[in-house]
Amino acid sequence: MSFYEFISKEPSIIKPFQLFGTSHIFALISVILSIAILTKLSNRSEAIRKHYKRFLLFMLPIQEILVRLWICFYQDYNLESMFSLHLCSMSIIFCTIILIKYDQSLFEIIYFWGLGGATQALLTPDISTYGFPHFRFFQVFLSHGLIIATVIYFIFVENKKVRKGSLKRILLTTNIYAAFVFIVNMIFKTNYLFIGHKPETPSLIDILGPWPFYIIWLEMLMLIVFSLLYIPVLYSYKHEAKKDLGESL
């Protein structure tokens, strides 16, 4: 396979992406195993921990720059091509920031946005015709895998925690952000967060009904996903409370 085929907008040899096909399943397993192994090794070795953190800090912005260049090369130079306001893209920016200097509020944002959005993106990638081994195939799984890896790193290596009450704060923050994005979409004719219309490729949004009714369902889905992500937070605080009570007796 030539390099041109690897980066082509319309590959002729590479087969289209198949949802839950062999390459998709293999990619998911690879992401899970890589995160699990590197997280475990980082807890065992200080040197590995430092190298792993540097790797995350380096790869997060690099892959985003590369995909923006790829999009701009094949499309018109517009705002949506050069910069993304989707939750996962913003999570990449926030991940990069807290890897440089930790911030609790940003960590809680990427905990919900990152785990909620990146997990869905890995399960239903927005890559249509770009199956294995196209550049976009690798980039999509790498980018969203890096977001999840960063969240897992801070939780299980640096022992960071999501604070109580974060569910209410993230729901409010996300809705304020969505309102801002809605205004941006109106001004610049973009479709960030898919508020204007559904994605061009198959996604979970397809089963949520027509516009604008699917936006209501997206709001409900967000509430469900974020609530599920908040359950481990409540459990950890409850477990700590029982532990402290036991030690005091």
What is the tens place of the pLDDT at every residue in 84-97? 899 999 999 999 99
- Give the pLDDT score at 196: 87
The pLDDT of residue 138 is 97
Given this model, what pLDDT does residue 1 score? 75
Tokens describing residue 67: 């995909």
pLDDT tens digits, one per residue of 197-237:
887 766 677 788 888 889 999 999 999 999 999 999 998 88
Q: Is 37 left (phi over 0), alpha (psi -120 to 50) or beta?
A: alpha
Long-range contacts of 53-60 (CB under 8 A, 24+ apart): 53/99, 53/153, 56/95, 56/99, 56/146, 56/149, 56/150, 56/153, 57/96, 57/99, 57/100, 59/142, 59/146, 60/92, 60/95, 60/96, 60/99, 60/143, 60/146, 60/147, 60/150
pLDDT digits (tens, 9 = 90+) for 136-194: 999 999 999 999 999 999 999 999 999 999 999 999 999 999 999 999 999 988 999 98
Structural domain for 22, as ranges: 3-248
Give the pLDDT band of residue 240 (cuts 50, 70, 90). confident
Q: Where are the alpha helices (DSSP H) in 45-165?
A: 46-74, 79-82, 87-100, 104-113, 119-123, 135-156
Q: Provide the number of structural domains found in the chain.
A: 1
Tell me how crowded residue 94 is: count the other CB atoms within 10 A of its CB: 21
Mean pLDDT of all residues belonging to the chain: 91
Compute the distance between CA of residue 195 and CA of residue 182 in angstroms, rounded to an integer: 7
159 CB contacts (<8 Å, ≥6 apart)?
none
Q: How far apart are CA 139 and CA 62, in angstroms?
A: 10
Per-residue pLDDT reduced to its tens digit, 46-63: 999 999 999 999 999 999
Q: What is the pLDDT of residue 201?
A: 64
| pLDDT confidence of residue 100 | 97
Model confidence at 247, pLDDT cuts 50, 70, 90, reads low
What proportion of the chain, given as a percentage, has pLDDT over 90? Answer: 70
User: Residue 159 and residue 241: Cα distance in Å, rounded?
Assistant: 17
Q: Which amino acid is at 204?
A: L
Q: Which residues have a Cβ under 8 Å from the Cβ of 200 and sit 6 or more positions away? A: 128
Cα dist. 150→26, 46, 158, 242 in Å?
A: 21, 17, 11, 29
